[in-house]
Structure 1
Amino acid sequence: MPVDDLESRGAKNRGHNDPSSHAVEERETQWVPWLIPVFVVANVSMFLLVMYVNNCPKKNLGTEGKCVARFLGRFSFQPLKDNPLFGPSSSTLQKLGALEWTKVVDKHQGWRLISCIWLHAGVIHLVANMLSLVFIGIRLEQQFGFARIGIIYLLSGFGGSILSSLFIQKSISVGASGALFGLLGAMLSELITNWTIYTNKAAALLTLLVIVVINLAVGILPHVDNFAHIGGFLTGFLLGFVLMARPQYGWIEHRNLPADSQSKKKYKTYQYVLWLVSLILLIAGFAVGLVMLFRGENANDHCHWCHYLSCVRTSKWKCDGT
């Protein structure tokens, strides 16, 4: 998944010698990223556990020669006809927490909405997501700290799982892509809510929009859960307004005002409006989504064209695969 390269931040209409500009820069570099590396280690460790449980040579005794990379022993991969991504079987993923509508709704296994974001279908899937997580997440954690980025990552993954369950009810889904799209969505809303402190605003916005559109376009390919991408992106987009707003009025412009006045003028009115509207939409979206999910509703019944958001059928492929 491609990642963005946002233009460098700078305070608007401030000189290089402005002390408040240096204060902002110091604040942005004070966070030492550790949560994103932990997430990477957790995802890799979970994949190794899945492969250990999968144990292709033992569970495919009749077709032992078809296991890929048999020199890895029980960590060898399923036959490529079963899993072309060099990974485990779908039954192993189901056993260890893949997102599956029937188990979430009929067997009340709501924990799968979270567990699925720590599972990956194969080495290719894992490497692509982890590279994206490192390039996107490290920079965000450096700027905003582990707490906000951790909340965005986890809630975006959760939001992606909810939307995926509402629309995809005949197959399983795994992967951290929903959480990663949440980070992209948060980057976009952060750019919008902190618009006045950016230099080269148009270039930064255009770059990020192109990246988002390309990634979502890839999601219309078969076997890709684009609903998890869309749900994660929307969740992260709203969370960005709630968690990533920055002060818009520099201290230097108000240095002659009392401390109380300075603190009251740190954020602009539009930021408070975006914060409130986003929080309401976020709570309402989660509430409506969870109610629909656990009532067993199929969102396709309410949106007959939405299936095109996840897969567009062509002469080259069909959209009925798992």
Structure 2
Amino acid sequence: MAELPPSSQEVHIRVNSKRTTSNSNNNTVHPVEIAPPAPSPAPAPAASGSFIEVKHYKKWFPWLQKMGALDVDRVVHRHQGWRLITCMWLHGGVFHLLANMLGILIIGIRLEQEFGFVLIGLLFVISGFGGSLLSALFIQSNISVGASGALFGLLGGMLSELITNWSIYDNKLAALFTLVIIIVVNLAVGILPHVDNFAHIGGFLTGFLLGFVFLIRPQFGWVHQRYAPIQYSPGRSKTRFKKYQCVLWVLSLVILIVGLSVGLVALLRGVDANNHCSWCHYLSCVPTSKWSCNTKAASCSTSQLGNQLNVTCSSNGNTGTYYMQNPTDSKIQQLCTQLCS
């Protein structure tokens, strides 16, 4: 699931101090109107400066927000809980869309052929919901879109299906090793900036639990007994499922219901999970010398005297002096972004 710049409902404008990806340097800036400042009773040239906050927008950002992207502020304060579902049908670009669709085709077709459209469809949607829920609890300043959480749910379902139906597979260890490597590699990619790894983790855990519930298979002895000739009467009747399968089914269902319920209640009450886990943010992004994981908005104060414009970044104290007359909002956005980055 892709992580996009934060939304704003304030009259002030903000700048997103988070670094954009390498292919976003040519993005246009969405113009934002600034409410005119109240007239000063005693205007003076030295006091003509005004506090301006700017936000970096991408051209397509408002459309994603209007079409159902995951915006925590709107989910909590505007009661738009449907965004936890609709966000998985949106994507942040052609490459994002193609990558997710390719993964769904490779994994989803195999599971659907074995377990049917209904079960795999429910697994996909519920896993996407679980991914959106965990993402909303930890990433509350940015919006997110994408089906990656649901895709990771399919991977989690494959893993639990392998575990619960362990006895029917021949190359058990080889299949388990291959699947674990695929999951680990994909989760490792999530530590890059602008990738919502919490949606991946939440979707994977939800799909993993659902796999024990939806993808359980009857043991071979019961199937053989069911289709045996009438004259054949085994000494001991086989049950449809083994005991460990039944135990995993019950435990997974209880954990899943409790986990989703508690998470949803916490989200609607406005709980920020980062306040209860100081290190969890590293699960979604690990800062390095090549990129920053800072998603907090930085503000700039500006003052203008004649053609001289002074811009100061509040987060790092960098100050720049520029000579221009009547600078546009987009120009101030660019200058503030440069100073705060």
Normalised by the length of structure 2, the TM-score is 0.67
Q: Which residue of 2 aligns with 1:81?
A: 27
Deviation at 1:91, TM superposition (A): 1.4
Q: Which residue of 1 aligns with 2:84?
A: 113
Counting helix residues as a fraction of each chain, which structure ranks higher?
1
Q: Which residue of 2 aligns with 1:309?
A: 283
Equivalent residues of 2:69, 2:144 under 8 A apart: yes
Equivalent residues of 1:88, 1:122 under 8 A apart: no
Structure ID, larger Rg: 2
Q: Which residue of 2 aligns with 1:272?
A: 246
For structure 1, the 5+ residue unaligned runs are 2-77
CA displacement 1:133-155 (0-9 Å, x = unmatched): 11110111001000110000000
Q: Which residue of 1 aligns with 2:139?
A: 168
Equivalent residues of 2:87, 2:144 under 8 A apart: yes
2:179 aligned to which of 208, 226, 233: 208
Q: Indicate yes or no: 2:267 matched with 1:296.
A: no
> For 2:103 and 2:257, how far apart are their aligned partners in 1?
28
Q: Which residue of 2 aligns with 1:98?
A: 69
Deviation at 1:321, TM superposition (A): 4.5
**Other structure's SS at 1:131 match:** helix
Query: Which aligned pairs between 1:244-283 and structure 2 lie closer than 5 A?
Result: 244-250=215-221, 251-252=223-224, 255=228, 256-257=232-233, 265-283=239-257
Q: Indicate yes or no: 2:170 matched with 1:224.
A: no
> For 1:274 and 1:304, how far apart are their aligned partners in 2?
32
> For 1:147 and 1:98, how far apart are their aligned partners in 2?
25
Query: CA 1:293–1:149 in 2, change beyond 3 Å: closer, same or farther?
Result: same
**Other structure's SS at 1:173 match:** strand
> For 2:95 and 2:59, how far apart are their aligned partners in 1?
12
Query: Percent of aligned positions with the same letter in both sequences?
Result: 65
> For 1:140 and 1:165, how far apart are their aligned partners in 2?
28
Equivalent residues of 1:159, 1:231 under 8 A apart: yes
Counting strand residues as a fraction of each chain, which structure ranks higher?
2
**Other structure's SS at 2:220 match:** coil
Deviation at 1:233, TM superposition (A): 0.3
Q: Which has the higher contact order (CA 8 A, sep 6+)?
A: 2
1:144 aligned to which of 115, 131, 136: 115
Equivalent residues of 2:27, 2:59 under 8 A apart: no
Q: Which amino acid aligns with 2:279?
A: W
Count how many residue pairs are aligned between Structure 1 and Structure 2: 241
Over the aligned positions, Cα root-mean-square deviation in angstroms equals: 2.2
Equivalent residues of 1:249, 1:267 under 8 A apart: no
**Other structure's SS at 2:248 match:** helix
Q: Indicate yes or no: 2:108 matched with 1:134.
A: no
Equivalent residues of 2:168, 2:220 under 8 A apart: no
> For 2:60 and 2:192, how far apart are their aligned partners in 1?
21
Q: Which amino acid aligns with 1:280?
A: V
Q: Which residue of 2 aligns with 1:26?
A: none
Deviation at 1:304, TM superposition (A): 0.8
Q: Which residue of 1 aligns with 2:52?
A: none
Equivalent residues of 1:98, 1:174 under 8 A apart: yes
Deviation at 1:130, TM superposition (A): 0.4
1:192 aligned to which of 163, 166, 170: 163
Q: Which amino acid aligns with 2:217?
A: R
Deviation at 1:248, TM superposition (A): 1.4
